[in-house]
Amino acid sequence: MSTFRAVVIDKTEAGQTCGFRELTDSDLMDGDVTVRVTHSTVNYKDGLAITGKAPIARRFPLVPGIDLAGIVESSESPEFKPGDAVILNGFGVGEGHFGGYAGRARLKSEWLVRKPEGFTAAQCMAVGTAGFTAVLCVQALERFGLTPDRGPVVVTGAAGGVGSVAVALLAKAGWHVVASTGRPQEAEYLKGIGAAEIVDRAEFTGQVRPLAKERFAAGVDSVGSTTLANILSMTKYHGAVAACGLAGGMDLPATVAPFILRGVALLGIDSVMSPRAERIAAWDRLAKDLDKDQLAAMTTTIPFDAVIEAGRDIVQGKVRGRLVVEIGA
Ligand code: NDP
């Protein structure tokens, strides 16, 4: 039986380990479609799984990697046949089911989406869960009825993966994008992908007042904690903030003042269990509105060998934009 390389997280008496191993098909979990993985990516959640900083791995051993793109090798589902190009993000893959950091993956057909027209497999992974989540945030703000004429939109964690794609999509939709970052050296990068203004993230880490000066009509927040609480207190009357992340912490030290005195809405965003129709609509929007040159500007490609180190880097806030991992040919 042929073998393939995989990253495997395991639990020993000494704690969680993470390293490369050779696996065979018989090591894979149940599913009706087997995919030859060509590309994956590194999201913040992958970093948390690799480092064990949060309990993302829900079984041991586990192949991490919440995103993958590849080619169907065999299928018991009438929906897919060998040779089909597919992508996957979410559904607990890379958490409770073996994920994308392996030469092969066996998956449930209902988790798979055909590779969108207009994106290569590598570009799909450049978008990945982070970019997919960014478009869900933008669509949530739009569904709430917000339009660029209402005022500026703030994006926190702007130089990260979710943030970078959100900046580009919001700028393309005509918003005045205020990019909040702790990395002033990335100002030119952020302007290049559409930011109109750069602000130091320290502006949002001070003590939270119930209400502060109204600055933003909308927000996309991937940081959480004090940052999200401050953004809410600065959101204009009838504005909204789409909250998707916790890079700064899981708590929310806010008051209800923005909700009950300014009618501000907090829109929660989850990408993992996003239903299929929403998924397809989100990928269509990405294919239509995400400029390929900007996507390239925010993407760094790394070899499979470098994925564990990249996972450690992302939880330290050292990764700019998006990473594509070349898994195999
Ligand atoms: P990245 O690491 O690429 O981006 C996070 C960014 O947040 C960093 O680049 C940095 O931006 C900022 N940041 C990091 N640490 C801190 C801190 N301590 N205080 C303030 N800002 C900080 O991660 P992703 O973009 O992949 O993910 C972002 C968040 O969104 C994560 O929490 C992730 O778990 C979550 N997420 C949620 C999803 C969902 O379904 N709800 C799906 C995908 C992601 P800068 O340097 O510009 O300040």
Residue 325: pLDDT band (50, 70, 90) is very high
Sequence-distant (≥ 6) Cβ neighbours of residue 275 within 8 angstroms: none
Q: Which atom of ligand 1 is nearest to the CA of 130?
A: 43
Predicted confidence (pLDDT) at residue 16 exceeds the cutoff of 70: yes
- The mean pLDDT of 250-273, rounded to a whole number, is 98
Domains by residue range for the chain, with CATH = 3-115+298-326 (3.90.180.10), 129-268 (3.40.50.720)
Share of the chain above pLDDT 90, in %: 96
> CB atoms < 10 A from the CB of 168, how many?
27
For a mutational test of ligand 1's pocket, the pick from 135, 167, 223, i.e. the residue with the most ligand atoms closer than 8 A to its C-beta, is: 223
Distance 160 CA to ligand 1 centre (A): 6
Residue 2: the pLDDT is 87
Residue 47: the pLDDT is 98
Distance 221 CA to ligand 1 centre (A): 9
Residue 238, by phi and psi: left (phi above 0), alpha (psi -120 to 50) or beta?
left
Q: Which atom of ligand 1 is nearest to the CA of 190?
A: 47
The answer, as to whether pTM is greater than 0.85, is yes
Predicted confidence (pLDDT) at residue 314 exceeds the cutoff of 80: yes
What digits encode the pLDDT tens for the residues 24-39? 999 999 999 999 999 9
Distance 15 CA to ligand 1 centre (A): 26
Predicted confidence (pLDDT) at residue 329 exceeds the cutoff of 70: no
Q: Per mean pLDDT, which range of 39-53, 75-89, 271-285, 292-306 is the poorest?
A: 271-285
Residue 132: the pLDDT is 97
Residue 268: pLDDT band (50, 70, 90) is very high
Residue 276: the pLDDT is 86
Q: Name every protein residue with a CB atom under 6 angstroms from any ligand 1 atom.
A: 43-45, 129-130, 133, 157-163, 181-183, 201, 222-223, 227, 244-248, 269-272, 314, 317, 319
- The mean pLDDT of 235-255, rounded to a whole number, is 97
Q: Helix, strand or coil for residue 328? A: coil
Contact 252, 228 (CB under 8 A): yes
Distance 78 CA to ligand 1 centre (A): 38
Q: Which residue type sits at 179?
A: A
Q: Helix, strand or coil for residue 313? A: helix
